[in-house]
Structure 1
């Protein structure tokens, strides 16, 4: 946009009525979400200049994609790519809404349900569901990052999905001969029912979250909640801390002898 066009746009804002101002604020908020998502994607491309196809670092700008992300053309293989090429969100049409769904899923203590988040973002519930399954698949296969300095670790839980499960169907078909499964039905997990019981954690998936002050982060699905499992998962991430603890335990045991 030219400077003169931008000045006319600002002057036109003074003539808006209250309803139009609300509509303009909503539009600017949506544009800001798209801009933030595009900035994060392009930051990934600026950090790694190599072509995802041939590894050549020579490139030139080659317009933008449909989602307004900067496209590059490799000087070596002549193929075009962007910061989304080869990534998990490479074929998503709305990366800005995906970032909102990701923050709701991992950045809040109580994520919204698929239907509520879909209504909030104006998306089909199945789209939000696929995005969450995509995040879970990457959490389960995420590689170990390099952590340094002060490392913080915590454990969070995500309720296991039983969508489409038929484990209760045989019991309802013949309740006299087929015993009910040990797992309660999910419709019983309400704030007044099983959710407040300690046994609920048995049916939730433990997820290890690790971060340091430098920005390195890791999300990893744990097979169970045992202390040995947690220690095995943390030992490769912070080996120096475990070596210090082992030396301290050896000195304490030697003093008792």
Structure 2
């Protein structure tokens, strides 16, 4: 992109109303989020969640081992209760399909958007938006 193209884009952005600017910003954020591999987000979640030590979310047992992967996510096996889990087990993100849209969903909820508005913006169903509520 040339400098004059960028300046023109900024001028167009500045002429948008607040809602238009927000929609444009969310579109760019979603595009940039697609550039960052989900594995980077998962690593951050894992590092934050298990900062005080790695333990089973079911029984609290500390003796766990890697147990393959499923859908690109590392699975673990607890030696105490023999249950398997992944980094998102026991979190609101467990079992969700559109993990790349969660950050934008949280932002929309903080802005006070309705479930219908969230669903439309994120291109998800209203029941999905309902079940994602923290």
Could you tell me the TM-score, scaled by structure 2's length?
A: 0.57
Match of 2:33 in 1: 29
1:1-257 correspondence to structure 2 within 5 Å: 29-32=33-36, 34-43=38-47, 44-66=49-71, 68-106=72-110, 110-131=111-132, 134-135=133-134
Aligned CA distance change for structure 1 residues 116 and 81 (closer, same or farther; 3 Å): same
Higher relative contact order (CA 8 A, sep 6+): 2
**Alpha-carbon offset, residue 118 of structure 1:** 2.0
Give secondary structure in 2 for the equivalent of 1:96: helix
Number of residue equivalences: 104
* SS in structure 1 at match of 2:100: helix
The alignment yields a C-alpha RMSD, in angstroms, of 2.9
Shift, 1:36, TM fit? 5.0
Cα distance change on mapping 1:104 and 1:27 into 2, 3 Å: closer
C-alpha displacement at 1:27, in angstroms? Answer: 6.6
3-state secondary structure, aligned to 1:54:
coil
Q: Is the 8 A contact 1:33 1:96 kept in 2?
A: no
Task: Please list the CA deviations of residues 149-181 of structure 1 after superposition, one character each: whole Å capped at 9, or x if unmatched.
Answer: xxxxxxxxxxxxxxxxxxxxxxxxxxxxxxxxx
Instruction: Provide the rounded CA distance (Å) in 1 between the counterparts of 2:37 and 2:101.
Output: 8
The gaps in structure 1 that reach 5 residues or longer are 1-25, 136-257
Distance 2:40 2:123 in 1: 19
Alignment CA distance shift 1:48-1:99 (3 Å): farther
**Contact persistence 1:62–1:71 (CA under 8 A):** yes
8 Å contact from structure 1 (residues 37, 95) kept in 2: no
Shift of 1:32: 2.1
Q: Which residue does 2:25 correspond to in 1?
A: none
| Alpha carbons of structure 1 residues 29 and 83: separation in structure 2 relative to 1, 3 Å | closer
Moved segments of 4+, more than 4 Å: none
What's the TM-score once normalised by structure 1's chain length?
0.34
